[in-house]
Amino acid sequence: MKTLKSLKRRKFTDKTAHWLITCSGVATIFVILALFIFIFLEVFPLLKGAKIKKNTVFSLHQGAVCIGADEHMEIAYAIYGNGSIEFFSLIDGSVIRKHDIQELGNSHITSFDKHKNLHILGTDDGKIATLFIHFSEVFEDGKRTIVPHISLQELVRAEGADNDYEPFAIKHIASKGDEDAALTAVHTENGRLLLLSSEIETSLFGEGEKREVKKDITPLLKKSLKPISSTSGAGTDHSLPENEVVITSLVLDHFMENLYVGANSGELIHINVRDKEEPVILERIKVSDKPVTALGFLLGDISLVVGDSDGNINTWMQVRDELSSFGWSLKKIHTFQSHNGPVTAIAPSVRNKCFVTASSNGSIHLHHATSERTLLNLNINSVVTALAFSQKANGILVTDSTGKLFRWDISNPHPEVTMKTLFGKVWYEGYEKPEYVWQSTGGTDDFEPKLSLVPLIFGTIKGTIYALLFAVPIGIFGALYTSQFLHYSLKIVKPVIELMAALPSVILGFLAGLWLAPLIEKILPSLIIMPLFIVLSIATAIFVWKILPAFGKGRYKHGMEALVLIPFIVGAIFGSICLSGIFETFAFGGDYRQWLLNVTGLHYDQRNAVVVGFAMGFAVIPLIFTISEDAMSNVPKSLVSASLALGATPWQTAVKVVLPAASPAVFSAVMIGFGRAVGETMIVLMATGNTPIMDWNLFNGFRALAANIAVEIPEAPFGGTLYRVLFLASLILFVTTFIVNTLAEVIRQKMKKKYSKL
């Protein structure tokens, strides 16, 4: 009975062990799968576009002129045409506070501009009111309450200085300002364009004195001025009838230097207003065949969004242009999905390069400038009167003429990432043409992230190729020699080479960056003559070996070549280093860096591709060496013997029999070496300058995918676009090495099978 029990127990233990071990074996598959799936899951949200999370409609009393909301989208305000302002809850629509601007009297608001918390309102009787609206947060018992504040900062008359004119309605207004200065451009109903500036000049005694300038710049527009350039080709002459600039929109940048005037003729007039007394027209350009109806700057005030009466939306930007009289000219950068009706409002995000446009036909689009795509299409089927984009770029507010307020909560976490921005040329702000650029972070808030992976992939490939160029011949020939010719008593070199593989890459990187790079900079010319010297030294070695009396060599007749060569090659290397200076004087006229720059136009960086190629080659050689050597040693002896028996020399046997037979494994060794070089991080990080430039130049650095991840991911906020793009970079690395390794493994297995049959 007892034995039966113990038998049962033993059987149970055996089964459990079997099950457990199989599970652990399979666990390895899970690890690889988990790696892939988890990294993919982190990348996946990049592919998702913008989404509407919630859509709510509230009703107001009438259509508002201007709307806005606090940062958290809890309280909104609406400014009505009659000068009253309402604050209301964006949760239930209830009115929280009402405010009337008494000072405006019976005037009606006809135009407005918004700048930070300032709302500059123009009225139908020529007044300009500056309204300051902001929200403060109060924390009480862990609960947040938002309190709105409103104050009228200034009320001026647009044409008050020389009271000759009847007050005219302000049709368009553009205003910018800071603590010390403010500038307002106004277009009135009688067709005049006025510039009002105020500046606080601090005198020596510290007292500020306000200086106001009013300037009528209408005559400037009336001056005959031919369009400098046009969109529809240089050949056609768009001689516009002069004096007929019908202003349809105005916009001013926050530098208070550039005023853009949109005209009925589809022209854009660029006026430099840096000198408030003497503004000058810099450029007049046809931007559309239809009247320009809306203008607006994107975050940073560099890209200008232009909307016309057909609903076309483009961004324009000042680009360096040698033909232009002042060195710059406006260029069309991006084109977006068109509304099928006149564009009436443009609202930029204060977070990123997104913006919302609305048309009078009720369509509302959300765009992202850099990625040149329209993310959302909304429609309210009524006339849009005011448009606002929330401060966190997660909501859109719209009022229509019937007094309805629409609120959309949107989720738009990664608008800047598309296939095109990752892998294509993109025309970034401040660039002369579309380019591949990686620059993930910048110093300012209005920085445009440049997330092209192309320079990084290029850098990875560049480093890998240079490393393999160095490592492949040495690895394969070394293996061939070790497996076929090396004396058996010297087989100890194999574990020595294995030790080479064990050297941490951080050490190789450190030595490459801080020892080798300065050294190579000093003795670069000698690298050019070194191969020649080494070949010569080998020839000398052969000669010396031949004339050496046979008894001196003892029983080591063959297989000692590698040892014999050591002093010769050391001599060759030292010789070439010593002659470096002389060779430099002789071939490069004394300074190779100057020569490089003058003759080939190349710059020399201390940490460059040569250094990386050498250091990474150091890491790759042992891999290629060991795998190839194994395969060459395992080529069946019968094949080698047969070849030798037929009269082939050992060299012929090695090249014509062993090498072809082992070639699949040698190939897979190269593949594995490739995989290692692609993913190498520390060497590239330390031995290159990590500049993401695309240039095959041997003497430049580069930035590789792996090093880039190591540098940037600690700083990347969790879940942000950069974080996910870096995960994408590691996914690319993972997939590349996975394919390469699997292929290499399959080839190796096939070869094993082939020889097991022999």
Query: Least distance in Å: CB of 51 to other proteins?
Result: 23
Regarding 184 and contact with other proteins (CB under 8 A), the answer is no
> What phi, psi does 626 have (nearest 5°)?
-65, -45
- Looking at the Cβ atoms of 5 and 223, the one nearer to other proteins is 5
Pairing label, strands 84-89, 95-100: antiparallel
Q: Pick from 28, 94, 106, 638: which binds other proteins (CB under 8 A)?
A: 28
Q: Pick from 189, 278, 289, 745: which binds other proteins (CB under 8 A)?
A: 745
- Looking at the Cβ atoms of 213 and 587, the one nearer to other proteins is 587
- Looking at the Cβ atoms of 188 and 537, the one nearer to other proteins is 537
Give the separation between CA 337 and CA 668, rounded to whole angstroms.
49
Q: Pull the structure tokens for residue 657.
A: 């029999």
Q: Pick from 6, 22, 117, 441: which binds other proteins (CB under 8 A)?
A: 22
Regarding 489 and contact with other proteins (CB under 8 A), the answer is no
> Cα separations (Å) of 551 from 359, 563, 567?
99, 18, 21
Stretch that binds other proteins, among 16-24, 183-191, 330-338, 362-370 (CB under 8 A): 16-24
Regarding 718 and contact with other proteins (CB under 8 A), the answer is yes
- Looking at the Cβ atoms of 286 and 724, the one nearer to other proteins is 724
Regarding 146 and contact with other proteins (CB under 8 A), the answer is no
- Looking at the Cβ atoms of 64 and 729, the one nearer to other proteins is 729
DSSP state of 82: T
Stretch that binds other proteins, among 161-169, 225-233, 451-459, 644-652 (CB under 8 A): 644-652
Regarding 605 and contact with other proteins (CB under 8 A), the answer is no
Instruction: Judge whether 63 and 398 are in contact, CB under 8 Å.
Output: no
Query: Least distance in Å: CB of 733 to other proteins?
Result: 5
Number of other CB atoms surrounding residue 317 within 10 Å:
21
Amino acid at 20: L
Q: Pick from 45, 230, 713, 755: which binds other proteins (CB under 8 A)?
A: 713
Burial-class residue 285 by CB neighbours within 10 Å (0-12, 13-18, 19+): buried
Q: Pick from 652, 750, 752, 754: which binds other proteins (CB under 8 A)?
A: 652
Q: Pick from 495, 554, 601, 647: which binds other proteins (CB under 8 A)?
A: 495
Regarding 632 and contact with other proteins (CB under 8 A), the answer is no
Q: Quickly tell me which residue has 């490459």 as its tokens.
A: 512
Regarding 18 and contact with other proteins (CB under 8 A), the answer is yes
Regarding 661 and contact with other proteins (CB under 8 A), the answer is no
- Looking at the Cβ atoms of 35 and 73, the one nearer to other proteins is 35
Regarding 129 and contact with other proteins (CB under 8 A), the answer is no
Query: Least distance in Å: CB of 12 to other proteins?
Result: 10
DSSP string for residues in 357-383: EEETTSEEEEEETTTTEEEEEEE-SS-
DSSP string for residues in 180-205: SEEEEEEEETTS-EEEEEEEEEE-TT
Q: Quickly tell me which residue has 């997104």 as its tokens.
A: 354
Q: Pick from 514, 532, 587, 599: which binds other proteins (CB under 8 A)?
A: 514
> What phi, psi does 612 have (nearest 5°)?
-65, -45
- Looking at the Cβ atoms of 303 and 608, the one nearer to other proteins is 608
Q: Pick from 278, 491, 498, 752: which binds other proteins (CB under 8 A)?
A: 498
- Looking at the Cβ atoms of 40 and 447, the one nearer to other proteins is 40
Q: Which of residues 464-483 bind other proteins (CB under 8 A)?
A: 473-478, 480-482
Q: Pick from 348, 676, 688, 702: which binds other proteins (CB under 8 A)?
A: 676
Query: Least distance in Å: CB of 205 to other proteins?
Result: 40
Regarding 485 and contact with other proteins (CB under 8 A), the answer is yes
Query: Least distance in Å: CB of 525 to other proteins?
Result: 12
Q: Pick from 88, 389, 428, 618: which binds other proteins (CB under 8 A)?
A: 618
Q: Pick from 121, 497, 517, 661: which binds other proteins (CB under 8 A)?
A: 497
The footprint of other proteins on this chain (CB under 8 A) covers a number of residues equal to 104
Q: Pick from 468, 727, 747, 751: which binds other proteins (CB under 8 A)?
A: 727
Regarding 682 and contact with other proteins (CB under 8 A), the answer is yes
Regarding 496 and contact with other proteins (CB under 8 A), the answer is yes
Query: Least distance in Å: CB of 274 to other proteins?
Result: 41
Q: Report, in this order, helix, strand and coil percent for the chain, each rounded to 5.
A: 40, 30, 30
Closest CA to 269 of 252, 256, 281: 281
- Looking at the Cβ atoms of 219 and 495, the one nearer to other proteins is 495
Regarding 258 and contact with other proteins (CB under 8 A), the answer is no
Q: Pick from 45, 49, 575, 650: which binds other proteins (CB under 8 A)?
A: 650
Q: Pick from 506, 548, 597, 642: which binds other proteins (CB under 8 A)?
A: 506
Regarding 419 and contact with other proteins (CB under 8 A), the answer is no
Burial-class residue 345 by CB neighbours within 10 Å (0-12, 13-18, 19+): buried
Regarding 142 and contact with other proteins (CB under 8 A), the answer is no
Query: Least distance in Å: CB of 3 to other proteins?
Result: 12
Regarding 633 and contact with other proteins (CB under 8 A), the answer is no
- Looking at the Cβ atoms of 368 and 676, the one nearer to other proteins is 676
> What phi, psi does 197 have (nearest 5°)?
-130, 145
Total count of residues recorded for the chain: 758
For residue 294, list its beta bridge partners. Answer: 307
- Looking at the Cβ atoms of 81 and 475, the one nearer to other proteins is 475
For residue 377, list its beta bridge partners. Answer: 365
The alpha-carbon radius of gyration of the chain (Å, integer) is 37
Regarding 235 and contact with other proteins (CB under 8 A), the answer is no
Strand runs (DSSP E) across 310-403, as ranges?
Answer: 313-320, 328-336, 343-348, 354-359, 363-368, 373-379, 384-389, 395-400
Instruction: Judge whether 625 and 562 are in contact, CB under 8 Å.
Output: no
Q: Which of residues 554-573 bind other proteins (CB under 8 A)?
A: 561-563, 565-566, 569-570
Q: Pick from 6, 8, 27, 752: which binds other proteins (CB under 8 A)?
A: 27
Burial-class residue 92 by CB neighbours within 10 Å (0-12, 13-18, 19+): exposed
Regarding 461 and contact with other proteins (CB under 8 A), the answer is no
Give the separation between CA 306 and CA 111, rounded to whole angstroms.
18
Q: Which of residues 534-553 bind other proteins (CB under 8 A)?
A: 534, 538-539, 541-542
* Helices and strands, counts by H and E, the chain: 18, 31
Q: Pull the structure tokens for residue 589.
A: 């006229």
Vertex 445 angle, CA 441 and 449, to 5°: 35
Q: Can you list the pairs that 355-362 forms with residues at least 24 positions away whose Cβ atoms lie under 8 Å?
A: 355/296, 355/298, 355/305, 355/389, 356/387, 356/389, 356/396, 357/294, 357/305, 357/307, 357/313, 358/384, 358/387, 358/398, 359/311, 359/384, 360/384, 361/311, 362/400
Q: Pick from 251, 282, 577, 706: which binds other proteins (CB under 8 A)?
A: 706
- Looking at the Cβ atoms of 427 and 466, the one nearer to other proteins is 466
Regarding 299 and contact with other proteins (CB under 8 A), the answer is no
500 contact partners, CB below 8 Å, separation of at least 6: 618, 621, 622
Regarding 606 and contact with other proteins (CB under 8 A), the answer is no
